[in-house]
Chain A
Amino acid sequence: MYQFIYDLTGNVIISTLVTAVFPLVNVLIVALIGVYLERKISAWIQDRVGPNRVGPFGLFQTVADFIKMMQKEDATPTDIDGKLYNLAPVLVFTGCFAAYAAIPFSSQLIGSEVEVGIFFILAVSSFTVAGILMAGWSSNNKYALLGAMRSAAQIVSYEIPTALVVLSMVMLMGTLSLTKISEMQTAYFWNWNILGGATLGLSKFLLIPFMIVGFIIIFISTLAEVNRTPFDIPEAESELVAGYFTEYCGMKWAMFMLAEYGNMFAVSAIVSILFFGGYHSPFGYLGNSLGINWLIPYEQAFWFVAKGWFFILVQMWLRWTLPRLRVDQLMSLCWKYLIPYAVVNLVVIGIISLL
């Protein structure tokens, strides 16, 4: 992506900026469509119809929400810590946005081919934690503070099972680069990691159950990292009103929402890269069979986005099915269940990969 634009313009700054705009647009689109879909899916699950009066099928609902939020008064409580209060949404959004730098949308469409891609994404997500703590603390509201504490504790602990599963995958693939991980699971779905990876042999079939376990663990823990039900206790509305962003309104609140939906897509992308072949098509490429080479990156981008959205849909589906856990149960799920399973999984995968 960067290289392509650099070739086109020949200017480092312009090409950097253009490359950076791409994920921003993506986050916006994900949020706009995501909120709409969330409302529609919750409606369908609950035998309702959902927004349908703003534009055809209510398609412009989120647009209207967005425009409305822009014109809301920026009411701030009196006893807040102004600087941190204003900085917090930016920081949260940065954490989400930075992650997009390393996500390969297709073999061509990638912000930066960092060698440590997956680690980078795990690392920058900690900015989100700092932002959340900042928001909770500066709001001078007990609910917000409690929500922020819960959220930070949750994200920090759930990073461990995520990292453990990522570690097992890294061990198997021998690289940290998301592009390479995607590349190694060549097209066709039977080559995906969830089905044992591209290399044929005994180990492929031995791996499958452990891959599924790994997938479940990382799916659950990323769900927790983006604070989705059943792990949405930081913003548990029945307990904490709205958690750490209780006191935020208008665009600042919108930034939290953008970050949330952006993160949802990011973690879905990670899951699909690690286990579901990343940007690879499950059935081979039209471009290959037709002999149109330039089509392939677009097809890849399509498949990648499709996979990302699929997991977002699953997240929404889960959200509208399950109750939420309590804060200590959340921790015990992480420390007593996910981490032991993940460690065992790691060891077993290590042994199998040595075979």
Chain B
Amino acid sequence: MKTYFRNTWLGIYTVLVGMKITFKHLFTPAVTIQYPEVKLKMPDRVRNRLYVNIDDCIGCDQCARACPVSCITIDTVKSIPGEDLGTTSNGKKKALWVTKFDIDIAKCCFCQLCVFPCPTECIYMTDVYEFSEYERERLVYKFSSLTEEEVNQKKLNLEKFQAEKEAQKAAAAAAAAAKPKPDAPAQPSAN
């Protein structure tokens, strides 16, 4: 009998206590961020969309190898001696044409592992988080600044250069003992 009345009392009392709390909250200002109108300032270390400053990229492929997801694909073509590719912003000399620098942002797991090994700090994570798309294909970001023709041109150049070199070598070999030939341009690829 005692527990019966106690239960009744507790039932009513705790409900009232709860109601008091929620009533208080009825008049607390909302914490909501009114998103499209108000946007939070992102912290400086925030990890969102990857960006590649292709001007600084030397095509070293370290980011692609660091990526656990293999969402970065880099193709490079060796430059021939006459070409000047310029230097990166921190003074490194570029030696490779980056013919392809694709990041499939749909696969990316935003772990930032690719950012650390980059010697020129050209790949980094931005604070852009709004990049939804209607088509899946548009989530593959192509960063290479070279057009298709230019890529073909570079490849052709290299081939021509190598052919010439070969010819020279052949000539040299004919003259003297042959040395091991340089290999075809490295074609590292993550997948």
Chain A–chain B contact at Cβ < 8 A: yes
A317 touches B25 (CB 8 A): no
CB pair A44 B32 closer than 8 Å: no
Does B175 count as interface, using CB distance less than 8 angstroms? no
Contact B26 A49 (CB under 8 A): no
Which residues of chain B come closer than 8 Å to A47, judged between CB atoms? 25, 28-32
Are B15 and A321 in contact, CB atoms less than 8 angstroms apart?
yes
Q: Which residues of B contact A44 (CB under 8 A)?
A: 25-27, 30
**Nearest residue in B to A216 (C-beta to C-beta)?**
B12
| With A44-B26, A45-B26, A216-B12: A321-B18 Cβ-Cβ less than 8 Å | yes
Chain A residue at minimum C-beta to C-beta distance from B19:
A321
CA of A321 to CA of B29, assembled, Å: 18
- B191 in the interface (beta carbon within 8 A): no
Bitwise, A20-56 to B at CB < 8 A (1) or not (0) is 0000000000000000000001011111110010000
Closest CB-CB distance, B23 to chain A, in whole Å? 7
Q: Are B22 and A320 in contact (CB under 8 A)?
A: yes
Interface size counted on chain A using CB atoms at 8 A: 17
Tell me the bound Cα distance from A49 to B37 in angstroms. Answer: 14
In the assembled complex, the Cα of A49 lies from the Cα of B28 at a distance in Å of: 11
In the complex, what residues of A have CB within 8 A of residue B30's CB? 43-44, 47-49
Q: Measured between alpha carbons, how far is A53 from B34 in the docked complex, in Å? A: 10
Q: Give the shortest distance, in Å, between A269 (CB) and chain B (any CB).
A: 22
Q: In the assembly, what is the distance between CA of A341 and CA of B25, in Å? A: 33
The 8 A CB mask of A162-198 against B (1 = contact, 0 = none) is 0000000000000000000000000000000000000
Instruction: Please count how many residues in chain B sit with their CB below 8 Å of the partner chain's CB atoms.
Output: 19
A48-B32 in contact (CB<8A): yes
- Name the residue on A nearest B28 (C-beta): A47
Chain A residues whose C-beta falls within 8 Å of the C-beta of B32 in the assembled complex: 47-49
Complex CA gap A296/B169 in Å reads: 112
Please name the residue on chain A nearest to B29 by beta carbon.
A47
Query: In the complex, what residue of chain B is closest to A337 when comparing beta carbons?
Result: B8
Main SS of chain B's interface residues? helix
Bitwise interface map of A from 305 to 346 toward B, beta carbon under 8 Å scored 1, else 0: 000000000000110111000000000000001000100000
A322 and B31 contact, CB distance less than 8 A = no
Q: Which residues of B contact A216 (CB under 8 A)?
A: 12
| Closest-CB distance, B145 to chain A (whole angstroms) | 40
B residues 76-121 with Cβ under 8 Å of A? none
Residue of B nearest to A333 (CB): B11
Shortest C-beta distance, A345 to chain B (Å), equals 13
Bound complex: CA A279 to CA B93 (Å): 88
Point out the residues of chain B lying under 8 angstroms from A45, CB to CB.
22, 25-26
Do residues B8 and A317 form an inter-chain contact, with CB atoms below 8 A? no
**Docked pose: A42 CA to B61 CA in angstroms:** 53
Q: Closest CB of chain A to B11's CB: distance in Å?
A: 8
CB-CB under 8 A from B22, the residues of chain A are 45, 317, 320-321
- Please give, as numbers and ranges, the residues of chain A lying within 8 Å of B31 by CB-CB distance: 47-48
Contacts of A317 in B (CB 8 A): 19, 22-23, 26
A sample of 5 more A-B contacts (CB under 8 A), given A41-B26, A48-B32, A321-B19, is A44-B30, A48-B30, A216-B12, A321-B21, A337-B7
By a beta-carbon cutoff of 8 Å, the part of chain A in contact with chain B is 41, 43-49, 52, 216, 317-318, 320-322, 337, 341
Residues of B within 8 A of A (CB): 7-8, 11-12, 15, 18-19, 21-23, 25-32, 34
The 9 nearest A-B residue pairs measured at CB:
A321-B22, A321-B18, A49-B30, A45-B22, A49-B32, A44-B26, A47-B31, A48-B32, A45-B25
